Amino acid sequence: MYIVIEGQDGTGKSTQAELLKKHFEEQGKEVVMLEEPDGDLPQAHDLHDMILTRGYNLEPLTNVLLFTAARVELWKKIAEPVLKKGGVVISARNYWSTLAYQGYGEGVSRSKIIRISKEVLPEKYIHPDYGFILTVPDKVRLERQKSRGKATETFEKKPSEFQQKVNAAYPKIAKEFNLTIIDASDTIDKIFDLILSKLRIV
């Protein structure tokens, strides 16, 4: 099973992915959690740093290509071997993030992003078994980002106009790819219970 949890920065993707990982591990399943584009793989981590932390001000299409390269490495090296053994892969983000940030946010052709992704990534990656988009009001999301105590990354630094474009992108992506939108402004436990109910595995 391949499950993706998507959403803007600060919506709680990683928290819910961690809870899902624990849930499946308690069932005795082999589980791996990815946090794209990093995913605890050195080469993917280096690509992540190039895009998000080094201040290179890369071209939007370059961001698309680097994100996609990181995904190929994560999928081939980490995700695919687990799925072949019947395990579970849970990912905080996939190429839908690139559609939101580089497509709607930075203006790269969305059809081009989809075409590039489909050319180098397998069908299973492109169409996960389950896909969720977490949403919260901007005020809550920004407060969460500040409370994390992490260094601000490239796209978190972009102006409110960019953030609004990304926010507006996710409902469109949900409709296009038939993804489940979840209001993530409730408690962590209630959000998790809702995700489990949608997975039909309570």
| CATH number assigned to the domain comprising residue 84 | 3.40.50.300
Half-sphere exposure of 130 (CA within 13 A, CB side): 21
Query: 159 pLDDT exceeds 70?
Result: no
Q: What is the pTM of this model?
A: 0.89
Query: 145 pLDDT exceeds 70?
Result: no
Strands ordered across the beta sheet of 2-7: 31-35, 88-92, 2-7, 130-135, 180-183
Query: 57 pLDDT exceeds 70?
Result: yes
pLDDT band for position 23 (50/70/90)? very high
Q: What total of structural domains would you count in the chain?
A: 1
pLDDT band for position 152 (50/70/90)? low
Residue 10 belongs to domain spanning: 2-199
Query: 137 pLDDT exceeds 60?
Result: yes
Task: Assess contact for 113 and 65: CB atoms under 8 A.
Answer: no
CA distance 144 to 12: 9
